[in-house]
Amino acid sequence: MDLRRRRFLRLSGAAALASLSRSARAQNWPTRNIRLVVGYAPDGGLDSAAHILGNRLSEIWGQRVIIESTSGNDVRIAFDAVAHAAPDGHTMLTATGAPEVNRFLFSKLTFDPAVDFTPVSLIGTFPDILVVSSSSPLDSVEKFIAFAKSRPGMLSWASPGTGTPPHLAGELFKLMAGIKMTHVPYDGITEYLISDLVAGRVDAMFDTAGSLLPLVRSHQLRGLAVTSGKRFPNQPELPTVAESGVPGYDVSSWYGLYLPARTPPEVVRTINSDIVVLLRDSALKAQFAALAILVASSRPEELAARNSAAAGAWKSLIEVANIKVE
C-alpha cells in the first residue's frame, strides 16, 4: 500500500478506502503541486473553505495543494487564470454560484464561462441573510417591506459589490417584494462596511451566513431572515424571507470545484471521487459548519445542470434590473 493510500486510510477509514478503490483513478496524477485558485479576496468564506479542503486533499494526494486567492472582488482574475491553465488536473478553481452568470454581468471577458471550465463537484451550500443594525426599529421583514413601500428609495442596503451573489439576492428581494431601495455596493466585506452597518449609516445588507452570523450572534446586527427556502440549521430561529411576506422567494448559493476544459475524464473522475468521499468526513463537516456552510457534493453533470438553471434565472433578473459591473 503506497503512502497516499495509508494517509487516506487514516483519514477516512477502511470503508472510504474501499469506496475509493472501486472508482476509476488516473494512473499518473498528480505529479506535482496543485494550484487551487479562489475567486475572491483572502479571509472570506470561500477562501477559508478552500484552505480546509486543500489541507485535506494534500494528505490524500501526497502533493501540496497551494491556495491562490486574488485581491479584491474581481472574479475574472481567478477565472482567467484557470481557463488558460494546462488542462492536466494541476490547476483547479473554487467559485461561488454559477460561473455562467459572469456572461451577463461583464461586457468584456477573456474566457467563456460556459465552455472553458469542467465542473467537478459541489463543495457546500449556504444562504444569505438580510440584516439591519441591532438598533433599527425595523425588526421584521414585514416591517421592513412596509417601511420601504411607504418611503420608496429612502432605505439603503449594502452588498459586497455589484454583481455579487448577495447583490443579486437583494435585487430579487426588491423585485418580488415590490419595493424600491438604494443599493450601496462596497468592495468586499470590510471593517468600513461593518462599521457603517452597525452604526446605521446604511440601513440593511444582504450577505452570506458565514459573514453575518457571528455579528448576529454577538448582537451587533439583527438578522431578519435567511434567503433559502428552508430555515438554516445553524440558526433555526431566523425565519425565511418566503415565510416573512415574500412567498416563493428562495435563494441559496453554493461553492463548486472546477477544472479547465479538456481535462482528461479520468482525472475529473478521480478528483470527483476523492471529493465525494472526503466530504463525508465528520471532522470536515464540523469545520464547514463553523463557516455556516452545509457540506454538499455532486456528480459533475449535476453541478453543470445546477449552474445552467441558475444562470438562466439570474439572466432575466440582471436584464430587468439593468445590472452591469462595468
**Residue-range domain boundaries for the chain:** 3-125+252-321, 127-244
Q: How confident is the model at residue 25 (pLDDT cuts 50, 70, 90)?
A: low
Q: Which residues contact 247 (CB under 8 A, 6 or more apart)?
A: none
Q: Is the pLDDT of residue 192 over 50?
A: yes
The Cα–Cα gap between 115 and 162 comes to: 24
Q: Which residues contact 283 (CB under 8 A, 6 or more apart)?
A: none
Q: Which residues contact 97 (CB under 8 A, 6 or more apart)?
A: 165, 253, 254, 310
Which grid coordinates are listed for 209?
Answer: 451566513
**Pairing status of strand 156-159 against strand 182-185:** parallel
318-326 mean pLDDT:
90
Whole-structure pTM value: 0.87
Q: Looking at 74-78, 204-208, 313-317, which range is the least confident one?
A: 74-78
11-19 mean pLDDT:
44
Q: Is the pLDDT of residue 316 over 90?
A: yes
For domain 127-244, give the CATH superfamily: Periplasmic binding protein-like II (3.40.190.10)
Q: Would the CATH topology of 3-125+252-321 be identical to that of 127-244?
A: yes
Q: Determine the pLDDT at residue 13.
A: 46
pLDDT tens sequence across 72-130: 667 899 999 999 999 999 999 999 999 999 999 998 999 999 999 999 999 999 999 99
Q: Determine the pLDDT at residue 190.
A: 82
Q: How confident is the model at residue 2 (pLDDT cuts 50, 70, 90)?
A: low
**Element (H or E) spanning 257, and its range?**
strand 252-260
Whether residue 30 has a cis bond before it, omega within 30° of 0: yes
Fold topology of 3-125+252-321: D-Maltodextrin-Binding Protein; domain 2 (3.40.190)
Q: What is the mean pLDDT of the chain?
A: 90
Percent helix, strand and coil across the chain, each to the nearest 5: 45, 20, 35
